[in-house]
A and B are shown apart, each in its own frame.
Chain A
Amino acid sequence: MSNSQLTPGVVPGRLPADAYAKNFGDHEPPLDMHEARVAADRCYFCHDAPCITACPTSIDIPLFIRQIATGTPEAAAKTILSQNILGGMCARVCPTETLCEEACVREAAEGKPVEIGRLQRYATDTVMAAGVHPFTRAAPTGRSVAVVGAGPAGLAAAHRLAMLGHDVVIYDARPKAGGLNEYGIAQYKAVGDFAQAEVEWLLKIGGITVKTGMALGQGITLAELQKAHDAVFLGMGLAGVNALRAAGEDLPGVRPAVDFIAELRQAKDKSALPIGRDVVVIGGGMTAVDAAVQSRLLGALNVTIVYRRGQEKMSASGYEQDHATSAGVRIICNASPVAVHPAGGALEVEFAYTVDGPDGLKPTGETFRLRADQVFKAIGQTLSGAPEGLELAGGKIAVTGAGRTSVPGIWAGGDCAAGGEDLTVTAVAEGRDAALDIHATLMAARS
């Protein structure tokens, strides 16, 4: 292929053939045993440690780090996985810089926290590499639970329910289980088909059946699930994408960033993926960063993230922003899309500069245009096809306590449920806690 970064249009193979393996390899390589010991030695084993509080799944971080330091990463992994069954993926994708590592007292002491995320990966990789699943099922309860969505929330709920002795059937719309772990995470954060490996490892608990290609309104209905199972957990995520509400949004070349990321994750040969010479990503979160960085890694010449508010309001962390800019992505803040115009075979996105005042976001009156072969919308996802009969809150399924919806017998968690940050680790916590509540409810009903 003779394409280069300068080739006009949307074309594949902009980079030399060997560049792709490097670009989409491990973003942060795993610690080896020596590095892990050195990193673990730095933990102070704090009392009632702030890192535990900062972790949505409340992993006993000082304990697992001490277990690594004393040469028992297997025990460390069990400490992690007993709280967070997707500890392996979370070790890779958690924004630790805004969670456990931000709370680490060594961050306060010297601006250099204990590398909790990488240590967690060291421990969980150790048991997964050994093919060990350290949990076993309790005696069968004779109850069955339907889980809708095989993403982090659904998998966490299913695993905990199976562990407690219930039979679980997971329904997922996509061909593969994993949800955003499989379709939504940047390639370089989960190399080596990790998401599928983790799902297979998780299912070793037994008692879980996964049915793919099925979703509410697509082969199954909520009423049917309620009838066939003793409880239902909804963890189907947010399948819809917010609209730009700008003229020209429907022009070819404008697409949701999540679709681009999913396509890229599923592509075996990254060099065959067409990418624009000029790419504009609209949004300010981690999806925007993942889309922009991966556009650059595919060989796009100019990649710009445009965010409508100030930089301090971007939901992508400072670490993520730095990652984007060091990958050659330009970040423009305080600019809101007005229209997408066709321009000589490509597009031009027109933006209005904004000021974020006490009365909200206001255009300054000044506009500018960016050339784009591709425009990726990363301005948030929405719940699509919310089942009827469930109360909503802020466009998501309303829940109280440990994921109880307005309908008895139906729980919800993860991104589709109201409350909590839309993070993998939060979804895991919600799935796990809903499972415990389902268990308590089913057991109370039996006695």
Chain B
Amino acid sequence: MADLTSHFIGIKSPNPFWLASAPPTDKEYNVRRAFEAGWGGVVWKTLGSEGPPIVNVNGPRYGAIWGADRRLLGLNNIELITDRPLEVNLAEIRRVKKDYPDRAMIISLMVPCDEESWKDILHRIEDTGADGVELNFGCPHGMAERGMGSAVGQVPEYIEMVTAWVKHYSKMPCIVKLTPNVTSILPPAMAAKRGGADAVSLINTVKSITNVDLDSFSPFPMIDGKGSHGGYCGPAVKPIALNMVGEIARHDVTRGLPISGIGGVTTWRDAAEFLAMGAGNVQVCTAAMTYGFKIVQEMISGLSQYLDEKGMTLDQLVGRAVPNFVEWQDLNLNYVTKAHIDQDACIKCGRCYAACEDTSHQAIAMTPERVFTVKDEECVACNLCVNVCPVDNCITMVEMPKGATDPRTGKVVGDYANWTTHPNNPSAQAAE
């Protein structure tokens, strides 16, 4: 069994699966259950300044979207940071860390954007035994309107400034949690790096409304007939998160900055993908909120089996896909594939035909006996048929060998060549 021990920014944990700062890590009771279930670490739900705790709504705080059989695909919340007194949280953190010294204990923080507030909160958490802090610059609802959370995360200068204060007043490793509610994730990541962050974590939730009630005409989640945007998370946001993680991992300026990957991690496979995309560990929330803490056991066994099968260590997996994450202009335009339908696997539903005939390139033929075949002379290899086919691996993309003639274009498949040298590109550099 592969060793899953993680040393993310020098913080040791028995596995790279941490619970993200969120409702599951709001108090001692939950976190003890999480550690008993096997989680490698937690980021304790965001603490605010001392004083009267913030309040939450007293109606629904979650909205959701579902797939078939009500499988939860996306969750949205309007919950704020912890609504329990600071001292209570600190005492609990201290107790739990003492009982679970081998687990990572990170404290998420969000206080007003002034030096004194940050200095004060850092001082207060010093003796909890926590392994690090995470700066919540991501929360897009409720706190942002008060100048915190994503209101900071959307202004790189603020990120840099606050990060620098934290590094100045604390010796603890500092993770900066980024909001995806920006045009580009790179400036915030660069700012965190400039401010001295030890790592970034991303993504926080995406501004969203899950649905509109068609009887009351209220956005959801609904509070007394009204709704405000919440933060979206769960499997639905994974593609957004993977892209942002990859962008930071591959960029010249941010390359090497440790990343804690967050966003729809539901199975070991999702986690492995984040790791390959450059994350040093992952944080999970929605999957735990959907299925309970026990899912970590599948994540541990699955990632371990995968690493064993690949003969790879955890460190060797991290960033493995980053060199393959390129810009469109670097893609090989001489990579020609054609869809191929496995007639033995085909169940004759005809979804590929409908999709291709109605919305794509009319490249699938259908006989009266419902035999579906690809017309190579029309197939642009768009992959839509693969994506709509209900049978795994029934339709595959088969690469045409070099030297073969593409019956669609009449051109011979040649060596690697991309857009930068393509004759249709007005700014193409002449091929040597």
Contacts and interface: CB of A to CB of B under 8 A. Distances in A.
Interface of A: 37-38, 41-42, 44-50, 105-106, 108-109
B251 interface: no
Contacts of B370: 48, 50
A350 to B, nearest CB: 48
B347 A105 contact: yes
Nearest to A107: B347
Contact of B390 (A41, A48, A49, A109): A109
Contacts of A45: 351
Given A109-B390, A109-B391, A46 B349 contact: yes
A397 to B, nearest CB: 32
A106 B353 contact: no
A106 B347 contact: yes
Contacts of B55: none
Q: Which of B69, B349, B391 is packed against the most chain A CB atoms within 10 Å?
A: B349
Interface in B346-369: 347-351, 353-354, 366
A41 B349 contact: no
A147 B53 CA distance: 79
Contact of B351 (A38, A42, A47, A50): A47
A109 B389 CA distance: 12
B88 interface: no
Contacts, number: 34
Contacts of B57: none
A446 B162 CA distance: 89
A46 B354 CA distance: 8
A78 to B, nearest CB: 20
Nearest to A109: B347
Contacts of A46: 348-351
A47 B353 CA distance: 7
Contacts of A105: 347-349
B68 interface: yes
B347 A47 contact: no
A46 B366 CA distance: 13
B351 A108 contact: no
11 contacts: A41-B68, A41-B69, A46-B350, A46-B351, A47-B349, A47-B350, A47-B353, A47-B354, A47-B366, A49-B350, A105-B348
Given A38-B69, A50-B370, A109-B390, A44 B348 contact: no
Contacts of B353: 47
Contact of A44 (B69, B366, B390): B390
A60 to B, nearest CB: 14
Q: Which of B68, B347, B353, B390 is packed against the most chain A CB atoms within 10 Å?
A: B347
A109 B349 CA distance: 10
Contacts of A37: 70
Contacts of B70: 37
Contacts of B349: 44, 46-47, 105
A238 B241 CA distance: 69
A351 to B, nearest CB: 43
A105 B349 CA distance: 6
Nearest to B394: A109
B143 to A, nearest CB: 36
Nearest to B370: A50
Interface string B111-126: 0000000000000000
Contacts of A49: 350
A44 B351 contact: yes
Interface in B318-377: 347-351, 353-354, 366, 370
Contact of B348 (A38, A41, A42, A50): A50
Contacts of B348: 46, 50, 105, 108
Q: Which of A37, A48, A49, A106 is packed against the most chain B CB atoms within 10 Å?
A: A48
Contact of A48 (B69, B347, B350): B350
A48 to B, nearest CB: 6
Interface in B80-114: none
Contacts of B354: 47
Contacts of B390: 44, 109
Contacts of B351: 44-47
A108 B349 CA distance: 10
Interface in B366-412: 366, 370, 390-391
A111 to B, nearest CB: 11
Nearest to A48: B350
Listed from nearest, the 7 A-B pairs whose CB atoms lie closest are A47-B350, A47-B354, A41-B68, A105-B347, A46-B349, A109-B347, A105-B349
